[in-house]
């Protein structure tokens, strides 16, 4: 069996086209969604991510503001910027690009974002809402994008066994909560899991969110499983790749996301979705 590809680019394109119409309608009603992206320092990867986010806003008609701050910006100065954005009625979403320079405490900064503008979904209020199943807050964009992809292929999660590899606050943990919310039986694996393959072999759905090239190989995948690859790594040749040995696993899985062109584009798409949702709630 060769797996069908879950095309994150195509799904993103479809969703963004519908967002464009929604944004036009909101703008006509005087409620144009607005996103502020705050970048501290010169991290090259962050600069690319931020540029892509601003470009996606422009393409969709979302008002966007990029605040580039020097690497030497103090935590107090950054908090003052966030406070101003919290009060700005034209801004519905605030995203502080991570990682932050070492002298700034990321948790303090994230908690300073007004929960109703927390479109990254990292605020404790959003995390708590996801955990308890309450409707306020925002879901983190990457796992939300994964869920959208499963919905798009019409995959019924109820009663299935999902294995999430990785337990970060931005991907693994919220992914597990979303899958649980859909009544999957969820196993979360991490660096202290003694026999990862024994876990993944039981999975109907695998979400790999680790950051290690070729961590998930064909022998670790049950025939017919759905495999979502969140990882973004460079292999020995410098080529962008995920956590999954794509060529091997695609011969075993029923559906698989490629890297690039899988989960990556969906992350920005769900950021746009959260920003539009925030403008609607405002
Ligand atoms: P983190 O480094 O925060 O978390 C990695 C997780 O993997 C940790 O929970 C860690 O366990 C676990 N882990 C490490 N080694 C193993 C192992 N051998 N077996 C099982 N689990 C292991 O990463 P993120 O969650 O932020 O990101 C994960 C990957 O996803 C990265 O490649 C990142 O670049 C990518 N990413 C992609 C996005 C996209 O848009 N496509 C968005 C965000 C991230 P422990 O907790 O025990 O240390």
210 lines ligand 1 (CB under 6 A): yes
> Is the distance from CB of 205 to CB of 254 less than 8 angstroms?
no
| Å from CA of 48 to ligand 1 middle | 20
DSSP string, 16-52: HHHHHHHHHHHHHTT---EEEEEEES--HHHHHHHHH
> Residue 63: enclosing H or E segment and its boundaries?
strand 63-69
The rounded mean pLDDT for the chain is 97
**Binding site membership of 263 for ligand 1 (Cβ less than 6 Å):** yes
For ligand 1, say whether the CB of 196 is within 6 Å of any of its atoms: yes
Of 166, 46, 173, 139, give the one whose Cα is nearest residue 100.
Answer: 46
% helix, strand, coil for the chain, step of 5: 45, 15, 40
Q: Which atom number of ligand 1 is nearest to the Cα of residue 259?
A: 41
* CA–centroid distance, residue 224 to ligand 1 (Å): 24
pLDDT tens string 32-86: 999 999 999 999 999 999 999 999 999 999 999 999 999 999 999 999 999 999 9
- Given a contact cutoff of 8 angstroms between Cβ atoms, the answer to whether 97 and 38 are in contact is yes
Bridge partners (DSSP) listed for residue 255: 4, 226
Instruction: Give me the domains of the chain, ranges plus CATH numbers.
Output: 29-120 (3.40.50.10860), 140-264 (3.40.50.720)
By C-alpha distance, which of 124, 123, 74 is closest to 102? Answer: 74
| Alpha carbon distance 264, 14 (integer Å) | 15
Q: Is the pLDDT of residue 244 over 80?
A: yes
Question: Do 168 and 193 form a contact (C-beta atoms < 8 A)?
Answer: no
Please report where in the chains the tokens 């993944």 appear, as a residue: 200
Ligand 1 atom with least separation from CA of 266 = 40
Q: What is the ipTM of this complex?
A: 0.99
* Nearest CA-CA partner of 37 in 54, 20, 25: 54
Q: Are 184 and 160 in contact (CB under 8 A)?
A: yes
Answer yes or no: is the C-beta of 76 below 6 A from any ligand 1 atom.
no
127 and 172 Cβ atoms separated by less than 8 Å = no
Peptide bond into 14 cis (omega under 30): no
* Mutation probe of ligand 1 site: the residue of 139, 144, 210, 231 with most atoms within 8 A of C-beta: 210
What tens digit of pLDDT does each residue of 98-110 get?
A: 999 999 999 999 9
Protein residue whose Cα sits closest to atom 31 of ligand 1: 211
- Known catalytic residues? 53, 97, 120
168 touches ligand 1 (CB under 6 Å):
yes
Mutate which of 106, 147, 166 to test ligand 1's pocket (most atoms within 8 Å of Cβ)?
166
**Residue 1: per-residue pLDDT:** 74
């Amino acid at each position: 069996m060769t797996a069908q590809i879950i095309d994150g680019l195509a799904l993103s394109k479809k969703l963004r086209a519908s967002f464009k119409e929604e944004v036009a309608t909101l703008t006509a009603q005087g409620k144009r969604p607005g996103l502020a992206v705050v970048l501290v320092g010169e991290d090259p990867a962050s600069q690319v991510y931020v540029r892509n986010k601003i470009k996606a806003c422009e393409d969709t008609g979302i008002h966007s503001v990029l605040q580039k701050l020097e690497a030497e910006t103090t935590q107090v100065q950054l908090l003052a910027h966030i406070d101003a954005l919290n009060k700005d009625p034209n801004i519905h979403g605030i995203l502080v690009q991570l990682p932050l320079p070492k002298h700034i405490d990321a948790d303090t900064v994230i908690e300073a974002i007004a929960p109703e503008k927390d479109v990254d979904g990292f605020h404790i209020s959003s995390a708590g809402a996801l955990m308890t199943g309450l409707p306020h807050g925002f879901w983190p964009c990457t796992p939300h994008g994964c869920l959208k992809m499963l919905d798009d292929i019409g995959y019924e999660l109820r009663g299935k066994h999902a294995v999430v590899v990785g337990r970060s606050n931005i991907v693994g943990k919220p992914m597990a909560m979303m899958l649980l919310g859909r009544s999957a039986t969820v196993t979360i694996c991490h660096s202290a899991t003694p026999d990862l393959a024994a876990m993944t072999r039981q999975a109907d759905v695998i979400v790999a969110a680790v950051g290690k090239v070729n961590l998930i190989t064909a022998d670790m995948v049950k025939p017919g499983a759905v495999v979502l690859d969140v990882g973004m790594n460079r292999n020995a040749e410098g080529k962008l790749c995920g956590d999954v040995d794509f060529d091997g696993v695609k011969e075993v899985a029923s559906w698989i996301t490629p890297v690039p062109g899988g989960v990556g584009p969906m992350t920005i798409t769900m950021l746009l979705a959260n920003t539009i949702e925030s403008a609607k709630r405002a």
